[in-house]
Structure 1
Amino acid sequence: MTVEGDAPELPEERELMTNCSNMSLRKVPADLTPATTTLDLSYNLLFQLQSSDFHSVSKLRVLILCHNRIQQLDLKTFEFNKELRYLDLSNNRL
């Protein structure tokens, strides 16, 4: 996992990108930095998302989930991500 930006005490306007792409992940990491605004989980082996997977990253604005194996989504998956503006689910099995 690569985190770009300064995590401690980020001003509201700052962007913090967490890059977890191409890591052969089968599930969303539980230790995501809460200040993350952009999360890249592309090119992994994710096939299912839990409703709690993104609960800790409530400031998330951009979520990239392309090129995984996701087959379905629960309607509550992103209920705690009120700031989410861009969601890329391309090249999955939806």
Structure 2
Amino acid sequence: MDLQPTPISRRYTVKITQQSPCTPKVEVLAPVLRLHPGATRLPHVNHDDTLCLHQRGEWRSNMPIADTVLPWTSEWFYYYEIWLITGEWTGGGDWPAASDI
């Protein structure tokens, strides 16, 4: 699936997988995500390189992916593009610590 967070954004190809009732996983297939100069890792990415889109327990199996995971993923790309320019993640949330991944 392709997502484009704004009309001037890049297009991102993602793969969403889910084994009910587990949380869906979002993997970026293209383009390869770059780091901000000076960064050592991407913000809000899980240990398995899937996107960290919500806090634990925020998503429930009765929530449609189209109404939750898809807009959250598009929003993640929006904040990722800002981060690439500024080096600051302005999307809020808790960033998994390096020791957690």
TM-score between the two structures when normalised by the length of structure 1: 0.25
Larger Rg: 2
Q: Which of structures 1 and 2 has the larger relative contact order (alpha carbons within 8 angstroms, sep 6+)?
A: 2
Higher helix share: 2
TM-score of the aligned structures, taking structure 2 as reference length:
0.24
